[in-house]
Amino acid sequence: MVMRNFCPVNLKDTGFSILFSNKQGWKPALQNRLSGYNVTFGDFRAVDLGAFDLIIPLNLSDQRYLNEMAAHKPLARLSPSEYCMGLCNDKTALYVFLQGLGLGDAVPKIDQQLPPPYILKPKIGEWGIGTSIIMDPKDEPGSADKLKSGKYFKQEYIAGGREYATHIIMKDRRIVFFKTIEFEFDTDVYVKGIDKTPAKARWIDHGKYQGIFEKILGAMDYQGICCFDYKVVNDRLYLFEINPRYGGSLTGFIEEALAAYALAVYGAG
């Protein structure tokens, strides 16, 4: 594939083809938002990636495969390196990385000796799977084996019924797309994920955090789409994780994000 000179009007041209991962449960919402675009949802390993004018991976498996293929031929994509994906996925490694940037105060404390209340998390995971809140010492015996496995860690629990997801597209150490969703829950104590969904969601301006997020991503030379999950309590930022992939709530802004992504891929971002 020889990537064409990009013109924004091409995005809705029938000749401009866009490939998304075929992620279960996400296709209907994306199709609804992208009516009028030439969009395909497919298995990256079963299609000719070079036949598409824009490629957006929705999961880490497809991002890794895309990187492998892009090492051999030019592909219309922007995706993080294996280093960045690994760093963001390993929550304890990310904690150490942020401390090295002088941002330790922006992350809930991680300490295996923390007394309750704390949150017990798998070092690598998503959607809150395997995560639990330990509120009382009597709840601790059931988590002892997890801690001994070395695959889990204790983190300070930050109570509060509002949580934020900031969706970012990064190109050459610069943020080219930045949108934040505020999620409101019906309780101050919960694990956001497949077992607990928000009661309300709305767009909010969190541009005041753009500089710090750009500093973090720039320090690891992150490229592509990611999502910061965090709380703000008494004006203090508590960063929980950086998801090195497309986050589901980005679909609400997909046309704007798609335009920014295309401009970045074709050198104008």
- Residue 123's domain comprises 118-156
Residue 49 lies in a domain: yes
Domain tally for the chain? 2
User: Nearest-CA neighbor of 30 among 181, 226, 246?
Assistant: 246
Q: What percent of the chain has pLDDT over 70?
A: 92
Please give the pLDDT value at position 132. Answer: 80
Residue 200 lies in a domain: no
Residue 246 lies in a domain: no
69 and 124 co-located in one domain = no
Domain boundary among 77, 100, 129: 77
Residue 44 lies in a domain: yes
Per-residue pLDDT tens for 184-211?
998 877 777 656 788 899 999 999 999 9
Residue 248 lies in a domain: no
pLDDT band for position 128 (50/70/90)?
low
Q: 58-67 contacts: CB < 8 A, separation 24 or more?
A: 58/20, 58/21, 58/23, 58/26, 58/245, 58/246, 59/21, 59/23, 59/245, 60/85, 60/89, 60/244, 60/245, 62/21, 63/224, 63/244, 63/245
pLDDT band for position 51 (50/70/90)?
very high
Residue 86 lies in a domain: no
The more confident residue out of 226 and 12 is 226
Q: Which of 24-28, 47-51, 107-111, 169-173 has the lowest mean pLDDT?
A: 107-111
Q: Could you tell me the pTM of the whole model?
A: 0.90
CA distance 106 to 237: 5
pLDDT band for position 155 (50/70/90)?
confident
Please give the pLDDT value at position 8. Answer: 52
